[in-house]
């Protein structure tokens, strides 16, 4: 997701081929989780943190999901002292590019968020996503409590048993020890740079998948008011 990738035509060509193969995998809709929390009786706010490759695209998806209150692009998995883009891109910090999703559990369940997450990235790719290679682009779920851990592990087991993907899922399920907000220019990057070649090739298809597969969840997004 680095700026050099955005300018590198070779990697963009690779991305086209990669996304084509991912699109072929997505022809069968990812099934709903059998284990999930019920919708809450009253409105509140809970946090989910997901890493699914470049945080530009992950944020672009979740900020368009009904029941999501807000999103932030950032870093999880490493320490506060190394939570900068310049350091994370060295692939030595332990951080993954992540998105913090603040959601209302009376409007959307954690399991439904997971279903969206697994529908818009390839959870079988280890330490990469499309043209982006490195541990900072790994697939990971950072759970905030034991219930999230239980639901995430059960869902991965369900998807693997159903062979929802051609290969086993490699998504990490690990405790959320910290989330560090990324630099301001990364926030709403896809919205603010709609003509960026990387956004057009790698991230707009994720938004299209959300709208196609989850029309009842899709809401337009024009930025924070």
Residues known to be catalytic: 54
What are the backbone dihedrals phi and psi of residue 154, each rounded to the nearest 5 degrees, phi first? -65, -40
Rounded-to-integer distance, Cα 127 and Cα 139, Å: 7
Distance CA 141, CA 51 (A): 6
| Alpha-carbon span 25 to 14, nearest angstrom | 17
């Amino acid at each position: 997701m680095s700026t050099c990738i955005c300018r590198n035509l070779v990697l963009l060509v690779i991305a086209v081929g990669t996304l084509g193969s991912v699109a072929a995998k997505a022809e069968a809709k990812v099934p709903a989780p059998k284990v999930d929390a019920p919708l809450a009786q009253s409105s509140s706010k809970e946090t989910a943190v997901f890493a699914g490759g470049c945080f530009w695209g992950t944020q672009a998806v979740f900020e368009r999901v009904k029941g999501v209150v807000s999103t932030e692009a950032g870093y999880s998995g490493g320490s506060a002292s190394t939570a900068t883009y310049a350091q994370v891109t060295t692939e030595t910090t332990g951080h993954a590019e992540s998105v913090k999703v603040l959601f209302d559990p009376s409007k959307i369940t954690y399991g439904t968020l997971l279903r969206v997450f697994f529908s818009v990235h390839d959870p079988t790719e280890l330490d990469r996503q499309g043209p982006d290679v490195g541990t900072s682009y790994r697939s990971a779920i950072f759970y905030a409590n034991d219930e999230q851990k239980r639901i995430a592990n059960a869902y991965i087991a369900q998807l693997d048993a159903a062979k929802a993907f051609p290969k086993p899922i490699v998504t990490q399920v690990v405790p959320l020890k910290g989330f560090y907000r990324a630099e301001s220019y990364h926030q709403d990057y896809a919205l603010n740079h709609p003509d960026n070649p990387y956004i057009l090739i790698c991230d707009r298809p994720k938004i299209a998948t959300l709208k196609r597969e989850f029309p009842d969840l899709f809401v337009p997004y024009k930025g924070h008011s």
